[in-house]
Structure 1
Amino acid sequence: EKTETNILKGIERMRRFAERSALAAAYPIAMEIIEALQRAAPIDKIEPAGSLRRMRDTIGDLDILVTSKKAE
């Protein structure tokens, strides 16, 4: 339950930003979400994608790629 709460808090923080957010502000939030997902699910690989992966100056949305061999 704590992991789910952390994920939801991270998503809510991203929503509070304007249409695009500075990389310096968005990156730590994205990493919190990725770490929470890693703890919560059987994930083989998880990586940021889009503007975050390319380390653009501003981030419009958060794209995360996840793979798992275990379907739930």
Structure 2
Amino acid sequence: MPNGEHQISLTSASASPEEAAAAIAAVERFLRETAAPAQSAAPSANPWARAALLEGAGHEPDAPSPWGDPVPW
């Protein structure tokens, strides 16, 4: 699998290489299709609330944050 979260192997000696590959592919497909959806990015803050917070803290709106982030949120 591309994300490498699962390591799947088939240890039965009775399956042919083609059967083993098909079984592994089916399990990997099942895991991809039933995985939880990716988390979406948190919504950005309201621009008015951001301006009020920056003003209250004594920061300019275009200045970097105290941690050096160009756009803090």
TM-score, normalized by length of structure 1? 0.30
The structure showing larger relative contact order (alpha-carbon pairs under 8 Å, at least 6 residues apart) is 1
More strand by percentage: 1
Structure number with larger C-alpha Rg? 2
TM-score, normalized by length of structure 2? 0.30
More helix by percentage: 1
